[in-house]
Amino acid sequence: MSEASISDVNPYDAPDASLDTGHDEGSYQPKIFSFNGRIGRMRYLAYSIGVNFLLMLVIVPLAGASAFMGGDPSTSMIGMLGIGIFYVVTIVISVMFAKRRLNDLNRSGWWFLLFIIPIINLILAIYLIFFPGTSGNNNFGAAPAANSVGVLILGWMFPALMILGIVAAVVIPQFAGMAPQ
């Protein structure tokens, strides 16, 4: 064992700690319900669609039961409580996904507060959906792994549902005889 005197040790030297994050570049597999890490565009769309669909499976029957039993105040209160819980959960999940997407763009999660400002919220939504994340590691961690087939299917459901909704809004009134004349 070599003895180093106080004068031989530089207090400003970097410690001998490993700076490895434990992830190879591109091998980080993101978890759905986590506030840490990064998610890309397709995962952002897929996770948002998937989780909101699951939440709707819970809230629609609850709201329907509340509507059919409208005469009973306790049932309608339970339905309203369920809807309130649904909105709180949806907001928390939306913040979580947007924060992780912003981290993929090498931005702080606090940028999510821009969704409060009208017009800016549309620009931020376009930024989150269409701009690619940083390649490789950034300030918020390793790049996520490639998307799985399930993520790709759920992610492409968003634009498909948007197009289907627009087509339905045009076609359904035509068949119902409500077309403007």
The residue range of the domain holding 126 is 32-171
Q: Tell me the per-residue pLDDT of 34-80, one tens digit each, with 9 for 90 and over.
A: 888 889 889 998 888 888 888 888 777 776 766 666 556 666 677 77
pTM over 0.85: no
Inside any domain, residue 148: yes
Sign of CA dihedral 40, 41, 47, 50: negative
**Amino acid present at 9:** V
Residue 4 in any domain: the answer is no
Residue at 75 is within a domain: yes
Question: Does 27 map to a domain?
Answer: no
* Pair of tokens at residue 56: 């709707």
Asked whether residue 103 is assigned to any structural domain, the reply reads: yes
Using DSSP's 3-state secondary structure scheme, residue 163 falls into helix
| One-letter identity of residue 50 | G
**Per-chain mean pLDDT for the chain:** 80
- Give me the number of domains the chain comprises: 1
Range from 1-10, 29-38, 41-50, 126-135 carrying the lowest mean pLDDT: 1-10
pLDDT, tens digit, for every residue of 73-107?
Answer: 666 677 778 778 888 988 899 899 999 999 999 99
